Amino acid sequence: MSGAVLVLAGALSAHAAEPVRPVPELDLAAVVDAAVENDPRGQALAAEQAHARVLGERAGSFLDGPPSLGIAHQNDALASDTGLSEWQASVELPLRRPGLRGAARREAERAGEVAASRAAALRLAVAGQVRERLWQLAEKREALAVARRELATARELQASVEKRLERGDVPRTDLLLAREETLQREIDVDRARLELEQARAAYRRLTGLDRRPETTAESPATSVSLQQHPGLASARASTRRAQAAVAVAREQHRAQPTLGFNLRSEDDGVETVESVGFSVSVPLETRKLRAPAVSGAAMALARAEADYRERERAIRLAVEQAEQAMRSARERLARAEERLSVARESLSIAEKAYRLGESSLLDLLRVRSRSFDAERRAVMGRIDLHRAIARYNQAKGVTP
């Protein structure tokens, strides 16, 4: 049986017993959508988006703070006692200068950009987890398929040895070796089945799904610009917001006027006089008082710019390493497939030699073990290559 047929047969046998069912209409993007919805970090992201909307609503206000109401009363009952009485009611409105309103509006816009970019960065991060889980599932499925094929082959060999023992063609030690081989392969199947169940559980916890895409293979993304990377876009948006926050800090601590209205009623015991007035107060600007807020915002900006540069460097390194890993996976797969071809030829010769009595069962088992190892490496090499491509796309910032 050829290698491709063996792999296909193993995959079909593994899929047939798989509770996490393959669904043709389900694609990688839909799985990522489900995982994002299932991710607890989405709540914090929703709160950040709501905060950005509140900042936008606040930015358009003409008031710099809440209005204040005041009531004052004055009389001369404890002094000259002439019957003088005065009441005054006032309203004070702290106003915002146009410069502060414009700066606050820009900061609100940048906050919205940060929230949107973080949503994209979160989706990319979740996509990376989904990719890893799916290829872990594929690896464990194929490992179980190979283990089952090894067990089936061991049982066939044991049955053949039992028949030859009945005819007196082989010693009883051969049957003991064959049984030992079968028992070991049964243990391998149990271990592979457990590892697959654990991989399925991890996939369900991440996505909340009991279904998976029928195919998850990706092609390397070669035309994607690094500047489009969601992680870098998020850092860039954070830098722009920090710049807007510096402008707000500079404007916010400049003199903001206060507009007041008052209603006064005066009674001197003879007649009552009522009057209406207004007032405007402008605080005297002191640079030293606003310096701490401005320097704090500038420090946050410096941190955001440093984070952007550091993230860009880390992303470039990750892409370079993923590219190297992809090339290495291709080379390993080519060597593994070549080794598999040689191992199958050796196994064919060893099986013939054992049937003719020219070699012992122990020699056959050694050759068969090397053949199975070569098959495992070839199967896992294919998965490793697809996983390396997925990791390369992840490093490039490609979100399904």
What is the per-residue pLDDT for 8? 36
8 Å CB contact between 290 and 254: yes
Instruction: List the Cα angle 100/103/108 in 5-degree steps.
Output: 120
Q: Within 10 Å of residue 188's Cβ, how many Cβ atoms?
A: 19
Long-range Cβ contact pairs of 109-112 (< 8 A, separation 24 or more): 109/56, 109/244, 110/237, 110/240, 110/241, 110/243, 110/244, 111/51, 111/52, 111/55, 111/56, 111/241, 112/49, 112/52, 112/53, 112/56
CB under 8 Å to 328, separation ≥6 — which residues?
A: 388
The CATH number assigned to the domain with range 3-396 reads 1.20.1600.10
165 vs 159: CA distance, rounded Å: 10
Q: Could you tell me where the DSSP H helices lie in the chain? A: 3-16, 28-38, 41-59, 98-166, 172-207, 230-252, 287-355, 361-396
Task: Give Cα separations from 313 to 149, 316, 327 (angstroms).
Answer: 46, 5, 22
Domain boundaries, the chain: 3-396
Residue 164: Cβ within 10 Å count: 19
What pLDDT score was predicted for residue 214?
87
Q: What is the pLDDT of residue 5?
A: 34
Tell me the two tokens of residue 217: 């293979």
Q: Distance (Å, rounded) from C-alpha 188 to C-alpha 300?
A: 56
Which of 150, 165, 171, 157 has its CA nearest to residue 351? 157
Return d(Cα 324, Cα 235) in angstroms, integer.
Answer: 26
Identify the CA nearest to 315 among candidates 232, 195, 399.
232
Strand pairing of 21-23 and 211-213? Answer: parallel
CB atoms within 10 A of CB 156: 12
At 4 the pLDDT is: 37
Contacts with 224 (C-beta within 8 Å, 6 or more apart), sequence order: 396, 397, 398
Q: At what angle do helices 361-396 and 3-16 cross, to 10 degrees?
A: 70
- 240's CB contacts (< 8 A; 6+ apart) are 110, 113
Task: Please give the chain's pLDDT, 400 residues, in tens.
Answer: 334 333 333 443 444 445 688 877 889 999 999 999 999 888 888 888 888 888 887 877 778 778 889 898 888 777 777 778 888 888 988 887 778 888 888 888 898 999 999 999 999 999 999 999 999 999 999 999 999 999 999 999 999 899 989 988 889 999 999 999 999 999 999 999 999 999 999 999 999 999 999 888 999 988 878 888 999 999 999 999 999 988 888 877 776 788 888 888 887 767 888 888 888 887 776 666 667 878 888 898 999 999 999 999 999 999 999 999 999 999 999 999 999 999 999 999 999 998 888 888 888 999 999 999 999 999 999 999 999 999 999 999 999 8
pTM of the entire predicted model: 0.79
